[in-house]
Chain A
Amino acid sequence: MLQIIAFYLFAALVIASGAMTIMSRNPVHSVLWLILAFFNAAGLMVLVGAEFIAMLLVIVYVGAVAVLFLFVVMMLNIDFAELRAGFVKNAPLGLVIALVLVCELVLGLGAYRAGIIELGTPSGEVLLGETNIAQIGELLYGRYLFLFESAGIILLVAMIGAIVLTHREQRSVRGHQNIAKQNARRPEEATELKQPGIGQGVEL
């Protein structure tokens, strides 16, 4: 009973906030609605017993990706009049995308009527009583080790690529702070006390 209430609550909120993401006029509101959608999707994950995935969803998408989204959108000063001006130009493209989505929907419904897909039988046994994390770890680091590691390498390459593309040599006037050099400085070598006689000045 409780699960059903929770399910409908989360599901309704996901759909509602998804709709609001598209409909709200302010881009920052859109991102905030999107975050609410992520959060409720995590709630749905908890309901199906995938608590690890739920936590990762919140940590990665809500905690990191969406913050960066919000960061960028907040900084941009989006001009709505300009956005609407492009509507007529982009309308055909939008129609094409809508058409593709409708086709997918129809296909999906047809496939659903045709009965369930014949899944391959899993060779490994499901370890009941093990935690989510242990099971996922078992799979990722055992059976799918190669795929997992190659995904990691692809991400690493992408990251290095992004850094190389955006990095520029900084030749600012102020120069860089060298913390080690600063810490190594002692008062004796940094300052020099002189006692000039009256009217004589100092030679440095």
Chain B
Amino acid sequence: MTATFIEWGMDAGWAMIVAAIIGSLLIALPLMLAVAMIIYVDRKVWASINLRRGPNVVGPFGLLQSFADGLKVMLQETIIPAAANKGIFLIAPIVTFTVALAAWAVIPFDAGVVLADINVGLLYILAISSLSVYGVVMSGWASNSKYPFFSAMRASAQMISYEVSIGFILVCVVLYAGSFNLSAIVMAQKGHGLGIINGYWFNLLLFPIWVMFFISALAETQRVPFDLTEAESELVAGYQTEYSSMSFALFWLGEYANILLMCSLNTLLFWGGWLPPLDIPVLYYVPGIIWFLLKTFFFFFMFSWVMATVPRYRYDQLMRLGWKVFLPLSLFFIVAISGWLMFTRYGGAA
């Protein structure tokens, strides 16, 4: 895109800035639309699993429900508790939302369709997702109220725990792909399984890793069964309790943007990103972005499916799963995978 602007007679610096702004908008606006729609999808899926109808009043099939909710929230009054720490109270939802959007900069939607094709893409995502805990912690502390504070404590402990295992899981993928660049990781999956299946999930060593990644992603985004930070039976609504109007909506949007991000990471790291599921020439006529979106939304369906069927974990069980099950398992798989690669790809103990 930068090249086009230079052709139009801008100098290189300005062209880059304008291209970056337009690129960000091109990602952020569809993302917000997608978030509005997946909230609707989420509610519809739960409803179907519970044999209910779900939202069906606003617009055809209730399609406009999320927009109606958004409008309602925008018209509400923002209430700031008198005892709250005002500055941090207001910054917290902004942090959550910004961080959720920032991670999308390195996600490749198709071959070459990525805002920032950086070498350390995967590390960038890890860094940004480790920042997302601050929104929760800041809101919990600034609310100056008991339950949000508990929720903030829970969130920080939970996210640190699961980040460790997510880090190790990503190392496994990086070992196989030989790169931190997300586009390179996707291309490394081309014809990975028997020369015909695009994706790491087919690999016997990586399939268990994918399962662990999926579960850790649920924990990292605080979805059921790991949504202890907003366990309504214990903590009212957790860190969001004192929030209202747009500041509440920003949390909501950020949360769903994060969930979509985790779904797309699933797609990129294990299911071949924008590549079609099978390495057959005919399938390449379908644009890559369609494959990417199909896979991402499929994983989102799995997220809602889990939400509708699995009961919530207890906090000690959550910690046990993170530290005593996932951590040793992912460490074991790092050793196993690097050993396997040593013998198969790099020719014995060199």
**B14 CB to nearest chain A CB (Å):** 9
Collect the chain B residues with CB atoms within 8 Å of residue A75's CB.
153
8 nearest A-B pairs in the assembled complex, by CB-CB distance: A63-B130, A58-B127, A55-B123, A131-B119, A59-B127, A55-B127, A51-B120, A2-B13
Q: A110-133: which have CB < 8 Å to B?
A: 131-133
Q: B290-336: which have CB < 8 Å to A?
A: 316, 320
Collect the chain A residues with CB atoms within 8 Å of residue B88's CB.
28-29, 32
Cβ contact within 8 Å between A58 and B130: yes
Cβ contact within 8 Å between B17 and A67: no
Cβ contact within 8 Å between B130 and A52: no
Collect the chain B residues with CB atoms within 8 Å of residue A179's CB.
320
Collect the chain A residues with CB atoms within 8 Å of residue B320's CB.
179
Cα A89 to Cα B118 with chains together (Å): 53
**B70 CB to nearest chain A CB (Å):** 29
Max chain A Cβ within 10 angstroms of own Cβ: one of B134, B157, B167, B316: B134
A34 interfacial by beta-carbon distance below 8 Å? no
**A179 CB to nearest chain B CB (Å):** 7
Q: B130-157: which have CB < 8 Å to A?
A: 130-131, 133-134, 137-138, 141, 149, 152-153, 156-157
Cα A133 to Cα B163 with chains together (Å): 21
Collect the chain A residues with CB atoms within 8 Å of residue B202's CB.
none
Q: 15 pairs across A/B with beta carbons < 8 Å?
A: A28-B88, A51-B118, A51-B120, A52-B120, A55-B123, A55-B124, A58-B130, A59-B123, A59-B127, A62-B130, A67-B134, A67-B160, A71-B156, A74-B153, A132-B120
Cα A71 to Cα B141 with chains together (Å): 10
Cα A2 to Cα B11 with chains together (Å): 12
Cβ contact within 8 Å between B130 and A59: yes
**B255 CB to nearest chain A CB (Å):** 18
Cβ contact within 8 Å between B119 and A59: no
Collect the chain A residues with CB atoms within 8 Å of residue B157's CB.
71
Max chain A Cβ within 10 angstroms of own Cβ: one of B127, B141, B153, B180: B127
B90 interfacial by beta-carbon distance below 8 Å? no
B16 interfacial by beta-carbon distance below 8 Å? yes
Cα A121 to Cα B17 with chains together (Å): 39
B126 interfacial by beta-carbon distance below 8 Å? yes
Cα A71 to Cα B134 with chains together (Å): 11
Closest to A3 in B: B13
Cα A56 to Cα B156 with chains together (Å): 19
Collect the chain B residues with CB atoms within 8 Å of residue A35's CB.
134
With A32-B138, A67-B137, A71-B153 as contacts: A2 and B16 at CB distance below 8 Å: yes
Please give 16 more A-B residue pairs, beta carbons under 8 A apart, in addition to A52-B123, A59-B167, A68-B160. A26-B85, A28-B88, A32-B88, A52-B120, A58-B127, A59-B130, A62-B131, A67-B130, A67-B133, A67-B134, A70-B137, A74-B149, A74-B153, A132-B119, A133-B120, A179-B320
Cβ contact within 8 Å between B127 and A63: yes
Cα A71 to Cα B120 with chains together (Å): 29
Q: A153-185: which have CB < 8 Å to B?
A: 177, 179
A100 interfacial by beta-carbon distance below 8 Å? no
Closest to B130 in A: A63
Closest to A71 in B: B156
Cβ contact within 8 Å between A74 and B119: no
Cβ contact within 8 Å between A133 and B130: no
Cα A44 to Cα B156 with chains together (Å): 27
**B65 CB to nearest chain A CB (Å):** 35
Cβ contact within 8 Å between B316 and A64: no
A1 interfacial by beta-carbon distance below 8 Å? yes
**B276 CB to nearest chain A CB (Å):** 29
Collect the chain A residues with CB atoms within 8 Å of residue B133's CB.
63, 67
Mask: chain A, 46-65; 1 = CB below 8 Å from B; 0 = not: 00000110011011001110
Cβ contact within 8 Å between B120 and A1: no
* From A55, A63, A177, contact of B120 by CB (8 A): A55
Q: A86-140: which have CB < 8 Å to B?
A: 131-133
Cα A131 to Cα B153 with chains together (Å): 38
Cβ contact within 8 Å between B131 and A58: yes
With A58-B130, A59-B126 as contacts: A67 and B156 at CB distance below 8 Å: yes
Mask: chain B, 18-40; 1 = CB below 8 Å from A; 0 = not: 00000000000000000000000
Collect the chain B residues with CB atoms within 8 Å of residue A28's CB.
85, 88, 141
Q: A182-202: which have CB < 8 Å to B?
A: none
**A90 CB to nearest chain B CB (Å):** 28
